[in-house]
Chains A and B, each alone.
Chain A
Amino acid sequence: MSQISLRTITKSFGETPVLNNVSLDIEEGEFVTLVGPSGCGKSTFLRILAGLEAADAGQVEIQGRDVTAIRPADRNLAMVFQSYALYPHLSVAQNIMTPLRMRDLNRLGRLPVIGPLLSRAAHRKMRDQVGEVAETLQITPLLDRKPGQLSGGQRQRVALGRAMVRQPVAFLMDEPLSNLDAALRVHMRAELSELHRRLQATFVYVTHDQAEALTMSDRMAVMMHGDILQVGPPNDIYRNPASLDVARFIGSPRINTLPGEVNGTGGLELLGVTTETRVRGLRQAVTMGVRPEHLHMRVTGRFSGTVRHRENLGSDIFVHLEVAGAPAKVVLRLAPAEAVELGLGTRVAFDFNPTDILLFDATGARLAFTHPAREVA
């Protein structure tokens, strides 16, 4: 049985539907990422899991217990907010200590001066716990500062510390890296993964950045327009997207899409070229997707285009080609050595391996196809 499960969650704000019958199961110790474009309802979903927002319909279960009607404070979850939501008037140490103070001390023990005197042992234990967490996150020198005196990355660590100081059932994180600069974001990505390995805890992570989802998660759930379109390990989703929307959203630069047609005999025709790919079914319009790294420059290539733009990333070069009949530019990933001679306006012939393509029907669903050599998909 999974540790957290959300069943048929439905939510709308007034007339606007935000979540339509969304279900998700999360196993213990998993790093699950919810990824989707801005405004697709990820935060709302996470807040429903936390209890900060009430669902219109559906259940939330944590460790087999139905918590749909239970308030957030009693669900034993910890959350890292996008804005960090640190208490500005408390020092870093006090911020991290707050969950302990609120949960482990009674009213008397929380009083400003008398509290520490009355429950000395409890306070010492809490201070030790805060010290340990600070040690783990390497923020010990910052403990006496106020949040206003910290950098973005340091604040992010304090927010993590406040979540970590207890042993919650799961850590919920709502785009915790979105306020950081690019370099720090990459660094914190690694740190978060490391932290997850060390704590062996359940992480539910929300982001609109597919790179974060691909790099950190055990499983990712792709959300769009209030639905979860596909759930699975990052690699599966990248290689084997269930629909055109998912294929387009995951991967950067975006997957190339070319309009095509299945002719009367089941052959796939692309930009006037009849390929050996066979599709079972009727004559229909289809979309072929192929990722930039699967397009190869080849003198004998069946397709050709004109170089319109080059993006040099150092290790790779992305070449944007204008191809007659294709609605958008086709992007090729090339090694720098290959691309040396390709100035703007050069004509390039290219091709792909028939096993590397994805086919989608007019509704965006995946189409199975066969290839004379072997069966794919």
Chain B
Amino acid sequence: MPQSRVYLWFIGPALLLMCVILLIPILIAGGLSLTDYSLGNTGASFVGLENYERIFTRSTYEKMFGATFRYVFVVVPLTVGLGLGAALLIDSLGRFGDLYKTIYFLPVMAALIAMAIVWEFAFHPTIGIVNATLERGCGTVLERWDWYAQGCERTFPLWLNDRDYAIWTVSFIGVWQGFGFNMVLYLAGLTSIPPSLYDAAEMDGAKSGWDRFRLVTWPLLGPTTVFVVTISFIRSFQVFDMVEAFYPQGGGPSKSVYVMMFAIYEKGIQQNLMGIGAAITVVFLAFVMILTLIQRWLVERRTHYV
């Protein structure tokens, strides 16, 4: 008796779509990363792992990794921490919670390009509100602080255009923009904690807020935290539009803000070096893949309570 082929109709469409829009492009990128292909050329020659070798030896790419990891390791802990803190504070509020929720979530919804322009003004070395405010503080006790005194004597930092400050300034804006998103995820996580657990904790003698947090809130937010951390990592690795808006050419002062996504764009699109662009993309995918695997492992191991 012939086996029914109906199942093909059930899985077929999804499988086909996944191949066409996900797997095949990845394979093509993987293939291109082994060549020196440029868009418009009729042919390309196979160069082996030369593109990858460049990524891991040239100083430009060293800067790329440096900028990316600085950004990621500032933005992820801060957005997660601030997101959790804001969620806990808002959750403890009765009446104005919704108002704060909206305020903190606004940057997430705003168009980042527009926000970038505003921040560019704010951080402008001479007419920007940041340095203008800092100058107000000159002559007060704040001058005891060496960094401040130096700023008063000469000038305050150029922020976005100083290679020592640029990546941190961009990270700051990234935090400002991103923590509202994590806050909303944490708020959802908080509402799913059964109130009776807090009653039980109180009966068991957990008297301080910290005790309750350690005994109930933090462990029960475990699954949320794994998700929030993973998504924050991926979002931070993907940072692009802000860098493109601030530094359309070259990735910031001395390439100090030359993050991966921008590098892919610059090499692959601006300079039409498809091979190297594809190679960076593959490395990027590898990072995201590793993060996802870690997340799956954590979810299955520790935070799955039933």
Contacts and interface: CB of A to CB of B under 8 A. Distances in A.
A85 B197 contact: yes
A308 B139 CA distance: 99
Given A89-B222, A146-B306, A148-B305, A52 B207 contact: no
Interface string B148-175: 0000000000000000000000000000
A22 interface: no
B256 to A, nearest CB: 40
B18 to A, nearest CB: 33
Contacts of B201: 102
Interface stretch (A26-34, A72-80, A209-217, A316-324): A72-80
Nearest to B206: A102
Contacts of A146: 305-306
Interface string B186-210: 0000000010110111111111000
B98 interface: no
Contact of B215 (A81, A82, A98, A103): A98
Contacts of B219: 87, 89-90
Chain A, interface size category, equals 20 to 34
Nearest to B196: A85
A90 B218 CA distance: 13
Given A52-B199, A85-B194, A89-B222, A149 B205 contact: no
Nearest to A146: B305
A164 to B, nearest CB: 13
Contacts of B222: 89
A162 interface: yes
B203 A73 contact: yes
A149 B304 CA distance: 12
Given A81-B200, A148-B305, A87 B215 contact: yes
B216 interface: yes
B306 A73 contact: no
A83 B198 CA distance: 13
Contacts of A162: 200, 204
A87, A90, A99, A147 — most chain B CB neighbours (10 Å): A87
Contacts of A98: 204, 215
B305 A102 contact: no
A78 B200 CA distance: 9
Given A83-B196, A98-B215, A50 B220 contact: no
A146 B304 CA distance: 11
B231 to A, nearest CB: 22
Interface of A: 47, 50, 52, 71-73, 77-79, 81-83, 85-90, 98-99, 102-103, 146-149, 162
Give 8 closest A-B pairs by Cβ, nearest first: A148-B306, A102-B205, A85-B200, A88-B305, A85-B196, A89-B219, A103-B205, A99-B204
